[in-house]
């Protein structure tokens, strides 16, 4: 016949494998330089300049 576990033992066994807050929120790896997307501030300035030049020539 199988021996029954007490409720305290069952809770303790379950808590061993319960993930902690830190393991659930693992730090994400730092992306490589090629994976980082940056905002190009110069492009908007150049586009405004090209638009002005196009308007004066048309």
Domain borders along the chain are: 31-58
Band of the pLDDT at 58, cuts 50, 70, 90?
low
For 19-44, write each residue's pLDDT tens digit.
677 777 778 888 898 888 888 889 99
Measured CA to CA, the distance from residue 40 to residue 44 in angstroms comes to: 8
What per-residue string of b and e applies to 7-40 under the rule 16 or more CB within 10 Å gives b? Answer: eeeeeeeeeeeeeeeeeeeeeeeeeeeeeeeeee
- What's residue 48's pLDDT? 94
At residue 11, φ and ψ (nearest 5 deg) are -65, -40
């Amino acid at each position: 016949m199988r021996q029954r576990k007490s409720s305290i033992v069952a809770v303790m066994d379950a808590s061993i494998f319960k993930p902690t807050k830190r393991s659930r929120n693992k730090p994400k790896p730092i992306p490589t330089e090629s994976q980082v997307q940056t905002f190009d501030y110069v492009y908007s300035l150049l586009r405004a300049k090209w638009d002005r030049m196009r308007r004066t020539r048309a």
